[in-house]
């Protein structure tokens, strides 16, 4: 359906057919790889490595756009694929990676709770044949947990039984097979469980193969600790009431938290993008104005949300990703314009562009900006670019002021501000924890450091990037007067020997 064509057009379309649909970086070079979705191998990582090596061979900076992802995994950026991407991009001049947050924010497919001596449970739909169930937990938080899988009769809600409770050590590094039978001795299904450890995280995989369709399967747990699981087969509707099944008092419901695509989207090194709607309409191929659905300037209801499993802020930034008009696969555009009169409003008047929505379309908006940033600062590192984007984001009525959060990240992408207020040529080292108060302020600021900083510079910048004040100090607590500065938003950076120790925003009232 031309997904890659649409993405490329947003990031770098040259606008030759219609200049109003030009991409963000229209003079950028483009190189792409196609993914083999039927392969079980590390195809994403193979593609990334190819692009990385090609850019290095021709001596060009590059930004990697990843409008792709799935929802199964540890959601902590500690899996092998995410670690490999981190190695390629961390602190490498002229390299940046941007990824789509995902489009599952309206699905209740995440389960998390703290265990107790009670036996809690959640229903799993098996789709008549089988399902896979993945559980993740920190290794120091699941050793005393016990789990099992059980079955209810869907008609009588009678409990048939479970496979017995076990702990993670029974299946660590091996596969345990259990057979569940009914009261007549007939086999209902086979349950296979295996577990491993990756970067301090337990990963437990359970395969349920059913012999008889229609039973209500359960995931059951007790003991101490907590865990996370993601599964679209967990029951969302048609659940029995406590009156019908008293044990429902111990039922644990799924939620819409931590719905970010897993793996690299949860990495610190990746700029993860949410999407909001902006365009109100366009001239369609019928030469009439087509009003696009609102509400405008708001985050899309289905945009995936954080945090990561280890409770870090994600996404990092939001960009326009709904009702975008971009390049279209020509055959598809022409076919839809002629064949589908009820839906051809989404094709533009030139029949060469199409509407495109989702975080897949918000992601190349940020990637296109990063290409421009690298044109100006070709040796900037990924973290420097990320800091410029997040530190200079737009905050408005729709984002609210309580940022960063796990819906908007640090706010809306403001390319103009990020281009001007980001500090280029500065290497980021270990941050020093800093509290700045009062903020907003009317005249006096206090910078309090959690340790002796050594000799540092505190620099204040206007939102246009002009340096407006510099203070030198070697004290843990220092007062800075901003009484003579106009009202508005300012950026501060704490530097030591041209190394960035900290940064943030202040408001002068």
pTM, entire model: 0.79
Please give the residue range of the domain that contains residue 300.
Answer: 3-104+260-421
Q: Report the number of distinct structural domains present in the chain.
A: 3
| Domain co-membership, 441 together with 475 | yes
**ω into 198 cis (within 30 of 0):** no
Q: Is position 255 within any domain?
A: no
User: What pLDDT does residue 427 have?
Assistant: 39
CATH number at residue 280: 3.40.50.200
Q: Is position 135 within any domain?
A: yes
User: What pLDDT does residue 426 have?
Assistant: 39
pLDDT confidence tier of residue 504, bands split at 50, 70 and 90: confident
pLDDT tens, 163-175?
999 999 999 999 9
| Domain co-membership, 193 together with 244 | yes
| Domain co-membership, 307 together with 403 | yes
User: What pLDDT does residue 167 have?
Assistant: 93
Q: Is position 367 within any domain?
A: yes
Quote the percentage of the chain above a pLDDT of 90.
Answer: 52
| Domain co-membership, 46 together with 150 | no
| Domain co-membership, 61 together with 143 | no
User: What pLDDT does residue 318 have?
Assistant: 97
Helices (DSSP H) in 182-282: which residue ranges? none
pLDDT tens, 324-336?
999 998 888 888 8
**Inter-residue contact 469 to 459 (CB < 8 Å):** yes
| Domain co-membership, 275 together with 413 | yes
Q: Name the residue with higher pLDDT: 169 or 450.
A: 169
Last-in-domain residue among 250, 268, 298:
250
| Domain co-membership, 131 together with 230 | yes
Instruction: Give the CB-side neighbour count of residue 300, counting CA atoms within 13 A.
Output: 29
Coil, strand, or helix at residue 70? coil
| Domain co-membership, 301 together with 449 | no
Last-in-domain residue among 421, 456, 488:
421
**Alpha carbon of 12 to those of 25, 83, 163, 249, 371: distances in Å?**
5, 28, 55, 54, 9
| Domain co-membership, 90 together with 116 | no
Q: List the 95-100 sheet strands across, edge first.
A: 62-66, 95-100, 271-277, 317-322
Under 8 Å CB-to-CB from 267, ≥6 apart: which residues?
77, 82, 85, 86
> What's the mean pLDDT in 287-294?
83
Is pLDDT above 90 for 20? no
Q: Is position 134 within any domain?
A: yes
Last-in-domain residue among 250, 270, 295:
250
CATH number at residue 121: 2.60.120.1290
| Domain co-membership, 99 together with 117 | no
Q: Is position 161 within any domain?
A: yes
Residues paired with residue 473 on neighbouring β-strands, in sequence order: 456
CATH number at residue 500: 2.60.40.10
> What's the mean pLDDT in 246-261?
93
pLDDT tens, 457-502?
999 988 666 789 999 999 889 999 999 999 888 888 888 877 778 7
pLDDT tens, 88-136?
998 888 999 999 999 999 999 999 999 999 999 999 876 666 778 889 9
Query: Average pLDDT of the chain?
Result: 88
| Domain co-membership, 16 together with 97 | yes
User: What pLDDT does residue 462 have?
Assistant: 81
| Domain co-membership, 283 together with 415 | yes
pLDDT tens, 345-370?
888 888 888 888 999 999 999 999 99
Is pLDDT above 50 for 451? yes
Going by DSSP bridges, is the β-strand pair 95-100/271-277 parallel, antiparallel, or unpaired? parallel
């Amino acid at each position: 359906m031309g997904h890659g064509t649409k993405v490329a057009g947003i990031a770098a379309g040259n606008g030759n057919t219609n200049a109003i649909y030009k991409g963000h970086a229209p003079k950028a070079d483009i190189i792409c790889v196609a993914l083999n979705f039927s392969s079980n191998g590390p195809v994403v990582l193979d593609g990334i490595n190819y692009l990385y090596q090609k850019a290095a061979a021709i001596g060009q900076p590059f930004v990697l756009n990843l409008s792709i992802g799935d929802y199964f995994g540890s959601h902590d950026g500690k899996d092998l694929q995410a670690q490999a991407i981190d190695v390629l991009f961390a602190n490498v001049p002229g390299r940046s990676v941007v990824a789509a947050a995902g489009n599952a924010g309206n699905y209740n497919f995440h389960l998390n709770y703290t265990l107790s001596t009670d036996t809690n449970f959640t229903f799993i739909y098996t789709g008549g044949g089988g399902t896979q169930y993945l559980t993740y937990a920190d290794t120091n938080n699941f050793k005393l947990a016990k789990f099992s899988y059980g079955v209810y009769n869907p008609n009588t809600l009678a409990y048939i039984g479970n496979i017995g409770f076990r702990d993670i050590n029974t299946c660590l590094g091996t596969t345990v097979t259990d057979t569940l039978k009914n009261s007549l001795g007939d086999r209902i299904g086979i349950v296979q469980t295996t577990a491993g450890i990756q970067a301090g995280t337990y990963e437990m995989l359970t395969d349920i193969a059913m012999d008889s369709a229609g039973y209500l399967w359960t995931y059951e747990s007790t003991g101490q600790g907590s865990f996370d699981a993601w599964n679209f087969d967990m029951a969302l509707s048609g659940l029995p009431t406590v009156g019908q099944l008293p044990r429902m008092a111990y039922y644990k419901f799924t939620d819409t938290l931590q719905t970010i695509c897993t793996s690299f989207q949860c990495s610190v090194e990746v700029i993860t993008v949410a999407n909001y709607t902006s365009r109100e309409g366009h001239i369609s191929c019928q030469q009439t104005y087509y009003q696009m659905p609102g509400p405008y300037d708001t985050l899309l209801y289905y945009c995936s949300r954080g945090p990561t499993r280890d409770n870090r802020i994600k996404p990092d930034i939001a960009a326009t990703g709904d009702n975008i008009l971009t390049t279209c696969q020509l055959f598809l555009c022409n076919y839809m314009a002629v064949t589908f009169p009820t839906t051809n409003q989404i094709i533009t008047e030139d029949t060469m562009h199409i509407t495109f929505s989702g975080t897949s379309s918000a992601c190349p908006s940020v990637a296109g900006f990063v290409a421009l940033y690298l044109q100006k600062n070709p040796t900037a590192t990924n973290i420097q670019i990320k800091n410029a984007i997040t530190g200079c984001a737009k905050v408005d009525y729709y984002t609210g002021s309580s940022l960063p959060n796990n819906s908007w990240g640090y706010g809306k992408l403001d390319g103009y501000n990020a281009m001007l207020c980001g500090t280029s040529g500065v290497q980021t080292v270990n941050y020093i924890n800093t509290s700045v108060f009062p903020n907003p302020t009317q005249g006096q600021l206090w910078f309090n450091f959690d340790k002796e900083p050594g000799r540092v510079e505190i620099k204040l910048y206007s939102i246009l990037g002009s340096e407006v004040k510099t203070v030198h100090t070697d004290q843990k607590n220092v007062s800075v007067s901003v009484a003579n500065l106009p009202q508005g938003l300012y950026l501060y950076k704490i530097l030591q020997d041209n190394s960035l120790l900290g940064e943030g925003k202040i408001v002068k009232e």
